[in-house]
């Protein structure tokens, strides 16, 4: 259940900014995770911010319990000390039922709410979780006189959350998007894995036995295909953005790239980067390939009004391929505006 249409875009607290009608058009190829309690990493945030699209201060899982308060205060210090320019600043707060959530929200919004673009909320189970944080943020925004609404990004990482993915995506105009959280989701579903994202060597399809008794072909399948597909549809239908989440095997760049690329091809716009080596992977994968951009440009040029049918290199193009080409060109333009090296290669 959501509000009646007329009320959907009203502020939820007196004095809070109105929700945005359209989410801001930002390039968010990688959400780079930083543990804000570690002083030596915090000192490098300025340089890091110039290399990534989003810096996220992580307060939730992976932060030791005894460092929860230091991480929160480290986030405040880092937000105050850094000029993020066009780079996004996000925080992953602790879950709604944790002992840290209340103070995470009051400290962050109270101290640096004007710099905080997005709150990433873990373990979202249904639209009621979004309704709660929506109302709570509105009250905090009003109290602190914020002019821009802070957006909410949900992590899809429980079985119940996946069941409710469409309702979560539609729950509020504050919704920025969603990320797959494969580690918690695996646990929640009782999947028999011990990994953070990626495939599993035992999840495969075996070809039928052949009469000659020769070796049977077998191929590893993607454990995350179903969830990503549901997430992409829920997000696209609601005009918000889907992301692949974390890939935990930092030494396996090829597997990381393959997972990110599958997600990109299926409609995701970015992924988390937990290790500096993953930044270049995400940048490469989530920026459209210059050869694809060149082909898309030929389609648009061959069909100036976006209708009819033409052949290009023996392949049929029509109104629908024109729309696909437009998705790629629109993304390339956004990326080009941010990335001069790619702008040159795209030549748009």
- Interface with ligand GLV includes 268 (CB under 6 A)? no
Q: Which of 155, 165, 271, 274 binds ligand GLV (CB under 6 A)?
A: 155
Instruction: Please report which helix (H) or strand (E) contains residue 57, including its range.
Output: strand 54-58
- The size of the interface with ligand GLV (CB under 6 A), counted in residues, is 10
Nearer to Mg ion, 260 or 272 (CB): 272
Count of other CB atoms within 10 angstroms of residue 267: 16
**CB 186 to Mg ion: min, Å:** 10
Task: Give the three-class secondary structure for 236.
Answer: helix
**CB 43 to ligand GLV: min, Å:** 26
CB-based burial label for 270 (10 Å; 0-12, 13-18, 19+): buried
Cα separation, 205 vs 85, in Å, equals 48
Q: Which stretch binds ligand GLV (CB under 6 A): 30-38, 158-166, 175-183, 201-209?
A: 175-183
**CB 184 to ligand GLV: min, Å:** 3
Strands (E) in 117-217, as ranges, are 118-121, 151-156, 175-180, 204-206
- Interface with ligand GLV includes 125 (CB under 6 A)? no
In this structure, are residues 113 and 141 in contact, taking their beta carbons and an 8 Å threshold?
yes
Q: Which of 182, 198, 199, 270 binds ligand GLV (CB under 6 A)?
A: 182
**CB 212 to ligand GLV: min, Å:** 44
- Interface with Mg ion includes 199 (CB under 5 A)? no
Q: Which stretch binds ligand GLV (CB under 6 A): 72-80, 181-189, 323-331, 336-344?
A: 181-189
Residues 59-78 that bind ligand GLV (CB under 6 A): 61
CA angle 279, 284, 286 (to 5 degrees): 90
Nearer to ligand GLV, 108 or 120 (CB): 120
- Interface with ligand GLV includes 171 (CB under 6 A)? no
Long-range contacts of 65-72 (CB under 8 A, 24+ apart): 67/37, 68/94, 68/100, 69/103, 70/36, 70/37, 71/35, 71/36, 71/37, 72/36, 72/100, 72/103, 72/104, 72/107, 72/108
Give the binding site for Mg ion (CB under 5 A). 157, 181, 184
Contact set with ligand GLV (CB under 6 A):
61, 155, 157, 181-184, 196, 245-246
């Amino acid at each position: 259940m959501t509000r009646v249409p007329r009320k959907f875009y009203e502020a939820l607290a007196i004095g809070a900014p109105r929700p945005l009608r359209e989410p801001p058009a930002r390039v968010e190829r990688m959400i780079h995770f930083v543990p804000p309690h570690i002083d030596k990493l915090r000192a490098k945030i300025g340089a890091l911010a110039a290399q990534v699209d989003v810096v996220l201060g992580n307060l939730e899982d992976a932060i030791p319990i005894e460092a929860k308060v230091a991480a929160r205060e480290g986030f405040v210090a880092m937000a105050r000390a850094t000029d993020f320019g066009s780079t996004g600043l996000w925080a992953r707060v602790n879950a709604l039922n944790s002992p840290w959530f209340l103070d995470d929200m009051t400290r962050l919004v109270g101290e640096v709410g004007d710099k905080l673009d997005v709150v990433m909320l873990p373990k979202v189970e249904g639209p009621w979780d979004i309704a709660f944080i929506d109302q709570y943020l509105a009250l905090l925004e009003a109290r602190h006189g914020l002019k821009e609404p802070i957006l909410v990004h949900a992590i899809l990482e429980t079985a119940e959350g996946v069941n409710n993915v469409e309702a979560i995506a539609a729950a509020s105009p504050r919704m920025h998007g969603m990320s797959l959280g494969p580690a918690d989701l695996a646990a929640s579903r009782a999947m028999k894995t011990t990994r953070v994202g990626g495939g599993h060597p035992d999840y495969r399809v075996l070809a039928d036995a052949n009469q000659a008794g020769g070796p049977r072909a077998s191929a590893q399948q993607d454990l995350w295909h179903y969830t990503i597909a549901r997430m992409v549809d829920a997000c696209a239908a609601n005009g918000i953005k889907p992301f692949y989440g974390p890939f935990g095997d930092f030494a396996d760049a090829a597997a990381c790239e393959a997972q990110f690329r599958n997600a990109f091809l299926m409609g995701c716009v970015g992924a988390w980067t937990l290790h500096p080596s993953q930044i270049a992977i995400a940048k490469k994968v989530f920026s459209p390939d210059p050869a694809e951009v060149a082909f898309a440009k030929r389609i648009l040029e061959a069909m100036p009004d976006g209708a009819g049918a033409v052949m290009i290199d023996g392949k049929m193009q029509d109104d629908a391929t024109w729309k696909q080409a437009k998705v790629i060109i629109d993304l390339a333009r956004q990326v080009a505006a941010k990335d001069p090296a790619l702008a040159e290669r795209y030549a748009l």
